[in-house]
Structures are given as C-alpha cells and as structure tokens.
Amino acid sequence: TPYIVVWVNERTDVPREYVQNNEIVLNISVDATKDLRIDNDLVTFSARFAGVGRQVFVPVGNVMSIFARETGEGMGFDVELASTEPLHAVDSAPPALPGEKGNEADKQDKPKGPPSLRIVK
C-alpha cells in the first residue's frame, strides 16, 4: 500500500487536523483515493477523512518520502520549497514580497537534516 509523507506548509491543502510536526502521512492507494493525479508539479486526489470527503493538493516538492505500508521500504526526497505561491487558487493570500516576514517564516519551516523513513501502523 503506497503512502507518502508530506511536509505541510501554506502551499499544501490537506486536512490540518491530521498534521503533526508539519508532516502528514497519506495513503495514496487506489482504494483510498478518488481521481488520483500525479504530475510533475502536483499530487491531487479526493479522499475520505473520518467519513468526510476532502480534496487534497500537495506540491511534488513537498513530498518527503514514499513507502510501502507492509514493508516500510521506500525512498526519501529533499523538500523543495522554491516558491511560497500556492499552486491552486482557493482563498489564498498573495505571496509575501522579498524581505517581508512571510519569506523568513518559510526558511524556519523547512525541515532540517536528511529525510528519514519511519514505520506507521
């Protein structure tokens, strides 16, 4: 069963109530998602969280790792936070200008150290 670990920031649209330490683990299997689309810039799908249908938008650069639930084997990636601009327009605020507080916050939110995998049960 494929799972992805996502670094959550203002560019991601995920159920925030399931985010821990700016990370969320998402099951992206065919059985867990609807209309799954993975392209060069964005991972999008619909899924049910506690019985409520939600749309999920994740920039590919925010994917920290992908792994198999059954074995824990997978691959880690560097988080690429190249832009603070949201990839989709859903009541989003304009990106911060250089030198504004928003850009400083992005630098602080970036994960530190190499990506790591952990077993989630």
Confidence grade of residue 85 (pLDDT, cut at 50, 70, 90): low
Fold classification of 2-109 (topology level): SH3 type barrels. (2.30.30)
Rounded to an integer, what distance in angstroms lies between the CA atom of residue 82 and that of residue 91?
A: 21
Indicate the range of 14-18, 67-71, 99-103, 107-111 predicted with least confidence: 99-103
> What's the pTM?
0.67
Q: Which helix (H) or strand (E) holds 66?
A: strand 63-68
| Contacts of 50 by beta carbon, 8 Å cutoff, 6+ apart | none
Rounded to an integer, what distance in angstroms lies between the CA atom of residue 37 and that of residue 21?
A: 26
> What are the residue ranges spanned by the domains of the chain?
2-109
2-7 sheet: strands from edge to edge: 23-27, 2-7, 63-68, 74-76
